[in-house]
Each structure stands twice: as C-alpha cells, then as structure tokens.
A and B are shown apart, each in its own frame.
Chain A
C-alpha cells in the first residue's frame, strides 16, 4: 500500500479483471481510485450505524417494559459496535483514520443513510427503523458479504448475524403494536405513512441517477444495483406490512405486477428532499449531526487525557468486556 512499491501497484483494469467476492485485502497494492471508493462506501455505512444509534437511543429510556429496555439497549450497543467494526474495515484501506472519519461526521461532512436524518418522536416509530430500515439494511448487507474488499465482507458476517436479531425484535415490537389497542394501531399506521417513502428511498435513486454505481460494481464493491435491492425489498416487505394490517399510503404509487413482485413509481418520491438530505442540508438531520457533535466536543478533554496517558506509556484504554 505504500508509494515505494509503485511497480507492484495494480491498475484499475487489473482490479476489474480480478474483482470478485473477498478478492482484495490489505496485502494487495490497490490503486487509489479503488481505495477511495471503498473508503467512501464503508465510511457511509459506519456513519449510518452511529447516527442510527443516536436516533434510537432515547427509546431505551422510553421502552414500555424492562425486557424491551434491555433488548433495545443491547441493540443500540450493537449498532455502536458495528460502527467500530466498520471504521476499522475502512481504516484498513489506508485512506483515512477513524478519528478523521469521526471528525468529518461531527463537522457535517460525513454522509449517512437518508432515514437517519429524520426525527423519531414516539414508540410507534421504533419498528419503522428496527423492522423496515433494518430489514432493508439486512438485504443490502447480505449482498456485501460478497464485496471485493475482504475486511468489509468479514465485518458483514458479524453485522448480519446480529442484525438478524434486531429485525426479529423490531418485528416483535411491531406485532405488539399491531395487535394492541386501537390507539396503538393508529399510531403505527401514522408512523408507517410518514416513514414508508423514506424507507423506499433507502436504496437511493434509480440506477440512472446514481453517480457511483458503475465503478463500484465494476470493481466488485457492490454486487447488486439499487433497483434490484429496492425491488427485492418491496417484494418481501409489502406482504409483511399487510400481514400486520398496515395500509400502504396512496403515494408513492406501487405497481403490483401480479406475480408477487412490486415496483414503485419513482417520480412519486420527493427526490429534491432526498438530495438535500444526502448533502446533510436537511434541517432535522443537521440538528442531529450538530447535537452529536456538541456531545462529542464536550468529552474532548477525556480523549486528550487518554492520549496523554498513552503517550506516557500507560496501559491500553479501558475496553469493553466482550
């Protein structure tokens, strides 16, 4: 990976040639274009874990039973753990350090999933994230077990395993609300109508509008297109939504292909909002980024103190017991 070994550095054509599941690792001297594209993708993923956890955290306290509180707290902790794992996978490309990526997130430069730019206000919204968004994430992550950057694929093994439990728990929260009082059912339907368009936009714009897809696909970082993922998600999750008595809102229109598959009418979705969100310029999201940044800023003194300790040869930072 160092510049001294210019002769061994692969060029993009060689990368495309070899591209396949888990094909590349830190042992390979990859061209900068590949390393930058992979960093961008994994950093986005890692940031999303952190901002998702930020959004869900208040519901640990607001969970309506002790069992739910425990399960939900474990979930938020898992998401932070995924962030940690993914930043490590991103760091292994040698483009950016973890601190750099966390600083970029605090500065509003780090990008993350559209859904995590919106506020969450009540418990009925919890399954919108913990079931639908996590379910959508699962679909995408499952395909990333075959991504060409091996450390990323490896992280996906653990992430997908844990995410499977989260989605089950999210579904259970939804089932509880869907079979609860009339008020609970109404709150759930309201939450669904608010979140459904954003959830569909999770997969990004159609392939034609996506700027990064071709290169990422050519070098094996992505293995499925946005459209394929979105359609697979709709096919699986529309029946699930209906199973819990949820009614799809009128817009965006969904075409039922009458063969168990569905498609969304893309122009019904608010792509201006989506791209505002994507630029970190959407208001609630901006507030969420800044509040997190302020909280991180407030503990800067601890990080300085730790750096101090480590430079004096102190033992390693206290670790999570795992």
Chain B
C-alpha cells in the first residue's frame, strides 16, 4: 500500500503548513468515526432483532477501530489520546453534525439512513485518499476501506427492506428529510482545504466529492420511492443546517455526549488514557 512517490514523507519531514493540512484532515476523519461509533452503540441491546443488534455492534466497533487508527496518526505530532479525546474541549472537535445527533427511541430508520448517507460519503472520501501524498495515511486507507464496504452493503440491504412497506417507507422518508441537510456537512471545510488539495493529501476536492456522493445517493433513494429535496444539488449550501460541526460549531447534544464519554475519566481523576492493545504500527500486515 505504501505510496511510490516520496510525497510528503514522514511526520518529521512536514513543514508547519503541511502539518496543519494533514492534521485538519485527520481530525475530521477520526472525530467522525469516533462519534458515529458512539451513537451506533446506543442500539446495543435495543436493536429490532438479535441479528441486527450484532450487525450494528460490529459496525460500531469497526468505526471505533478506524478512529483509533486515525487518532494514532495524530499522535505522531505529539498529542496523546487524552489530549485528543478525553481532555479536548468539545468545541475543538471537527466531526460533521450528522454523526452527533442522538437517536430517538425506536427510530431504526434514522440509524439506517444515517449509516447509508455516511457510508457512501466515507467510500468517496477514502477513494480520494487512496492516492494521498502522505504515506502514513496511505498505509491505513486499505484496511479501513475493506471494512467500510460491508457497512454500505448493510445499510443498502436494510433500506431496500424497509422501503418495501408503507410504514417503513414513511419512516425512511422522515429520516431522509431530517438527515440529508446534516449529511451535507460532511463536505464542508475551511480555508485549509485548498492547501490539502494542493499538497495532494487528498486527490479530490470537497466539492467534487459532494458531486460524487450526490451521483450515488440521490438516484438510489429515488429508486426506492424516496424523495429528495428539489434543488439540493444545485445549491447545497442553502440546505446546510445551523451547525455544521467542521468548524467546531456543534449541537448541544454533542456537549452531552462528550460529557458522558469522558465521565469516568474525570470521575476517576485520570490523567491518561491507558493503552491495552498493541500500537497499530506493530500490527500492520
């Protein structure tokens, strides 16, 4: 998997500007996966069947595992896990607001629609990273991609089943109406994105990735008899929700979630997050 060209080289080789670009991208990746995994676990012991419970728990664990891989790359720059998760100000997290929204009890349609919208975007994003100029990311994209493939398949299967009956379709429609604007935040960025593109850390721009995502997700939803809003392609910015997350502006639900996540760490007065598994660099194939 290692990239042929020297590219940006090792963490130590990076200039300040390069490093800032790499970090910006990694924070979004890691935070998205962690927070989505956190939300998915809400379905453990609550999913409709034991089988669906196990399947979503698997997916949640994959997301945590991916978060771990991406946070590990951020640790190359000196931060430790406590800095990155447990002691970081919730306003410094850079995940999209799509992944932080809580689930209403019983709203399995939300879990499925959210998963689908996210997984398609994740696939597009990882494809744009397959040819990254930063070798540390390139080394890990393959593993993450192979697992994400199953996630998308899982979401698609469920969408097809639920869309097949009236109540299921109505619930999916509600979820799409509510979540689609939040999903657009996955493609939001800031002034550093131009540099990310120029440095080849990613081979597609956010705008181009959003187009690819529309190309896949919109026709699929429509093929199931689900409506997507008029004009969303032409003017996506006008559909964005109040909080986009990527800029650190989050919903109140995120503060509550972060508070719960860090509760034990604070209650015990911990100052570090203990490792119990081998470093990802030592388990690479």
Q: Is the CB of A84 within 8 A of B51?
A: yes
Question: Which chain A residues lie closer than 8 Å to B41 at the CB level?
Answer: 57, 60-61, 73
Closest-CB distance, B30 to chain A (whole angstroms): 10
Question: Which chain B residues lie closer than 8 Å to A80 at the CB level?
Answer: 44-45, 50, 53-54, 57
Bound Cα distance from A308 to B166, whole angstroms: 11
Instruction: List the A residue with the shortest CB-CB distance to B38.
Output: A61
Bound Cα distance from A69 to B158, whole angstroms: 27
Within A60-100, which residues are at the interface with B (CB < 8 Å)?
60-71, 73-74, 76-77, 80-81, 83-84, 87
Given contacts A306-B161, A309-B161, A321-B58, contact A66 B270 (CB under 8 A): no
Given contacts A64-B273, A80-B54, contact A309 B165 (CB under 8 A): yes
Question: Which among A61, A176, A304 has the greatest number of chain B C-beta atoms within 10 A?
Answer: A61
Question: Which chain B residues lie closer than 8 Å to A312 at the CB level?
Answer: 164
Within A14-58, which residues are at the interface with B (CB < 8 Å)?
50, 53-54, 57
Q: Which residue in B64, B85, B162 is a CB contact (below 8 Å) of A70? A: B64
Q: When each residue 43-69 of chain B gets 1 if its CB lies under 8 Å from chain A and 0 otherwise, what string results?
A: 011111111111101101100110110
Interface residues on A, range: 35 or more
Closest-CB distance, B34 to chain A (whole angstroms): 8
Question: Which chain A residues lie closer than 8 Å to B47 at the CB level?
Answer: 299
A209 contacts chain B at the CB level, 8 A cutoff = no
Bound Cα distance from A126 to B248, whole angstroms: 33
Q: Which residue in B55, B106, B164 is a CB contact (below 8 Å) of A299? A: B106
Question: Which chain A residues lie closer than 8 Å to B268 at the CB level?
Answer: 64, 123, 177, 180-181, 183-184, 187
Closest-CB distance, A160 to chain B (whole angstroms): 19
Given contacts A80-B45, A181-B269, A183-B269, contact A320 B264 (CB under 8 A): no
Q: Which residue in A53, A71, A320 is a CB contact (below 8 Å) of B55? A: A320
Q: Is the CB of A83 within 8 A of B44?
A: no
Question: Which chain B residues lie closer than 8 Å to A172 at the CB level?
Answer: 276
Question: Which chain A residues lie closer than 8 Å to B23 at the CB level?
Answer: none
Bound Cα distance from A177 to B264, whole angstroms: 12
Bound Cα distance from A302 to B162, whole angstroms: 8
Instruction: List the B residue with the shortest CB-CB distance to A309.
Output: B161
Q: Is the CB of A306 within 8 A of B49?
A: yes
Decide if the interface of chain A is mainly helix, strand, loop or mixed: helix
B154 contacts chain A at the CB level, 8 A cutoff = yes
Q: Is the CB of A57 within 8 A of B165?
A: no
Question: Which among A73, A87, A303, A318 has the greatest number of chain B C-beta atoms within 10 A?
Answer: A318
Q: Which residue in B106, B164, B260 is a CB contact (below 8 Å) of A295? A: B106
Question: Which chain A residues lie closer than 8 Å to B81 at the CB level?
Answer: 65-66
Question: Which chain B residues lie closer than 8 Å to A322 at the CB level?
Answer: 54, 58
Within B132-153, which residues are at the interface with A (CB < 8 Å)?
150
Question: Which chain A residues lie closer than 8 Å to B277 at the CB level?
Answer: 67, 70-71
Closest-CB distance, A197 to chain B (whole angstroms): 25
Q: Can you list 27 residue pairs at the A/B interface with Cβ under 8 Å? A: A53-B44, A53-B45, A54-B45, A64-B265, A64-B268, A65-B265, A65-B274, A66-B81, A67-B274, A67-B277, A73-B41, A73-B57, A73-B60, A87-B50, A122-B264, A180-B268, A184-B268, A187-B268, A301-B106, A302-B162, A309-B164, A312-B164, A314-B161, A314-B164, A318-B154, A318-B157, A319-B55
Question: Interface on A for B, CB 8 Å cutoff?
Answer: 50, 53-54, 57, 59-71, 73-74, 76-77, 80-81, 83-84, 87, 122-123, 172, 176-177, 180-181, 183-184, 187, 292, 294-299, 301-306, 308-309, 312, 314-315, 317-322
